[in-house]
Homo-oligomer: A and B are copies of this chain.
Amino acid sequence: MSWVHPAWLARLGRLERPGRPGRLGGDAGAVLRLDPGCGLGAEAYTISRAGGVTTVVAADEAGLMYGSFHALRLGDGDLAAETHAPAKARRVVQHWDNVFVHPVMGQVERGYSGGSVFWEDGALTGNLDRVGDYARLLASTGINLVSVNNVNVHAGEARLLTERIGEVAVLAERFRPYHIRVLLSVSFASPMVLGGLDTADPGDKRVRAWWAAAARRVYARIPDFGGFVVKADSEGQPGPYAYGRTHADGANMLAAALAPFGGEVYWRAFVYNHRQDWRDRSTDRARAAYEHFAPLDGQFADNVVVQVKHGPIDFQVREPVSPVLLGMPATRLAVELQATQEYTGQQRHLCYLPPLWTSVLSTVADHVDAVVTVSNVGEDAYWTGHPLAQANLYAAGRLAWDPALDPGAVLDEWISLTFPEAARETLHALMDRSWCVYEQYTAPLGVGFMVHPGDHYGPDVDGYEYSRWGTYHFADRDGVGVDRTRATGTGFTGQYPAPWRDEYESLATCPDELLLFFHHVPYRHVLRSGLTVIQHIYDTHFAGAAAVTAMRRRWAELAPELVGAELHERVRERLAEQERSAVEWRDQINTYFLRKSGVPDAHGRRIF
C-alpha cells in the first residue's frame, strides 16, 4: 500500500493527523510542542531525542508534522537538537491525470501505475480514503502542493475550474490535514470554452474579468487553493500567441486573478515548434524555451512561477541543464522533474532517478523557488507499478525539501522505512547505479530520443529521425550527433552563461556523457575516456544489458519472505522484462551503428 515498512505504516497510521501538539499519537516516547515564539520559520522544526523521548518543536502545525515524520525516520539512540527547514517553500507534485479516459493516452497520460488516484472514467474517485493515504504519503516526504489533473486540459477536464470545482474541493479536504494545497491545471481558452466569450485575449477586459470571477468562485470553495498550472502555446494547447501577446501577458493575467487570494500560477516553459520539418536544419528545439522565455525575464508578476523542464528537450536519460534555469534571474522559476518514467523504462525498468535529479539540482537549486515532480502514482496496489519505483516518489519530496541531500542516502532512508535490514544490500546493489545502467543500454552520450515513437518504450533508433518533433541524431556512415556549437552548429551553446557556454562549445572540454548532445563527431572520435565513440557505444550496451542480467539474478537470490512473496514476484516479472528489453536495446543500437559505421567491435562480440 505504500513504501512504508509494515512497522512504520502502523506507526504512521497511529499518527492520525501528525503534527497535532501533544504526544505523538500512540507513541509514548515523543512530545510535539507548538511554540509560535520559538524563532523557527514556516514548516521548520527542531528535533532532539534524550532518554528515549523524542521532542519536536515548531512554530506552526506544518513544522510539527514534518518533525513527527522525521521522528518516524529516526533510528535508535539519542539525538542532539537539530533544526530542519525546507530549502524551498514550494515542493510540488503534479499529476497528468485525465478525468475522462483519453482515447490514446488513457486515464493517466504517461502513467504506468494503472488508473488515476483522483479520477475514474469521468467521475471523482469513489475511493477518497486512498486519496487521504496518498496525502499522508506525500506529506511524509515533504511535498506541500499537488496538482490534480493533466496539463493537457481537454474539454471535459476544463470544467473542473467551474461547475466541477466541488470535486476539486473534496480532494482539497483530503489533502488539507497534511498541509498540502491543491493546484488545478487550467485551459488558457477557458473564457471561451467555459465562459462563452469569443476570445481569450489577455488584453480584453472581459477576459480578465472572467478569470477574476472564476478565481473568486474557486476560493469560495477552497480557501487555501494553491493556484493554476498552465501549459500554453505548447503541443497544441491554446495560449497568448493567438492574440499577439507574450507568455508574460498570459501568465500575469491569471496571476492578477489569483493574487487577492494568495494563489500562484505555474506557467510551463515547455514551448517549441512541434511541427518542425526534419529537413529544416536552422531550427533547434533545444533553443526554443530560452528563446521564448529569457527575453521576458523581469516581466512576470511576483506570483508567477515559470516552470522549466530540467533539460532543454524532454526528460531524456541524459541532458544538460536547461539554460532557461540559468538565464532568468529576475523571475521566479521552478525546475520540473519527471518521476513517471516516460523515457526511462516506464516502471517496467528499474531506474532510480535521484542521481540524475541531483546532478541538475546541484547546478540550479539556488536559481529556483520550487521543485516540481511529475507523479508516478496510480491506482496500482504498490502505488507505482514497479514497487521499487516508489523510491523515486519518496526522493522527489525529500530533494524538494533539501536539494543537497545525497541520492544514496535518500535511497538508504527509503530502504530503512520500507524493507527489513536483510534486504538492504540487495536493494542498493540493484538501485544505486540503475540510472547509469539504463543510460548504458539506451541512447548513447546524450544524443537522446532513440525510443519508439508515441509510446516511448523500447528502442527505435530512427523512430524520430524524420519526424516533426525536432529530436534528431543525424547519424550517417561517418558519424553521429547534433552540432549545437556557436562555431558551426545551431548556436545553442550560446544560451549558457560562462563557464558552460565554453565548456560545451569545445570538443576538448565537453563532458563525454553530453558529447553527442552538443557535437556531431566521427565514429572514431576519441572520448576523454580514451575510447572511440563507436567502441564506447558497443561497450556500454554490452555492459548495460549484462548489468540488468546481474540485477535479475541478484533479486532472484533474495528470499521472497523478506519482502513479501507478491512484491518479490512483481519485481521479478519486471526485471525479466527489463532484461529482455535491455538486450533488445543493446542489439538494435549496436546493429544500427555497426551497419552504419562498418567498424567492428574491438572485442568481437556478437552484433547482428
Closest to A599 in B: B477
| Chain B residues, CB < 8 A from A588 | 466
How far does the alpha carbon of A85 sit from the alpha carbon of B591 in the complex, in Å?
56
Known pairs A477-B598, A478-B598, A596-B596; A279 contacts B587 (CB<8 A): yes
Contact of A476 among B278, B587, B598 (CB under 8 A): B598
Kindly supply a per-residue 1/0 record for chain A positions 580-608, scoring 1 wherever the CB is within 8 Å of any chain B CB and 0 otherwise.
00000001100100111110000000001
Give Cα distance in the complex from A591 to B465, angstroms: 11
When A279-B608, A587-B279, A588-B466 are in contact, do A596 and B477 touch as well, CB less than 8 Å? Answer: yes
Q: Are A595 and B279 in contact (CB under 8 A)?
A: no
**A598, closest chain B residue (CB):** B477
A595/B477 in contact, CB under 8 A: yes
Q: Is A224 an interface residue (CB 8 A)?
A: no
CA distance A460 to B467 in the complex (A): 9
Interface size counted on chain A using CB atoms at 8 A: 21
CB distance from A302 to the nearest CB of B (A): 47
Q: Within 8 Å CB of A597, what residues of B?
A: 477
A282 → chain B, closest Cβ, in Å? Answer: 12
**Complex contacts, A478 vs chain B, CB 8 Å:** 598
User: Is A461 engaged at the interface, CB distance under 8 Å to the other chain?
Assistant: yes
Give Cα distance in the complex from A477 to B594, angstroms. Answer: 9
Interface check A462, CB cutoff 8 A: yes
Please measure, in the bound complex, the distance between the C-alpha atom of A462 and the C-alpha atom of B589, giving whole angstroms.
13
Check if A139 is an interface residue, CB within 8 A of chain B. no
* In the complex, chain B residues whose CB is within 8 Å of the CB of A459: 466
Q: Per-residue CB proximity of A448-476 to B under 8 Å, as 1/0?
A: 00000000000111100010000000011
Closest beta carbon of chain B to A585's beta carbon, Å: 10
CB neighbours of A595 from chain B (8 A) = 475-477, 596
Q: Could you list 25 A-B pairs, sorted by A, with CB under 8 Å?
A: A278-B608, A279-B587, A279-B608, A281-B608, A459-B466, A460-B462, A460-B466, A461-B462, A461-B466, A462-B462, A466-B588, A466-B591, A475-B595, A476-B594, A476-B595, A476-B596, A476-B598, A477-B477, A477-B595, A477-B596, A477-B597, A477-B598, A478-B598, A595-B596, A596-B596
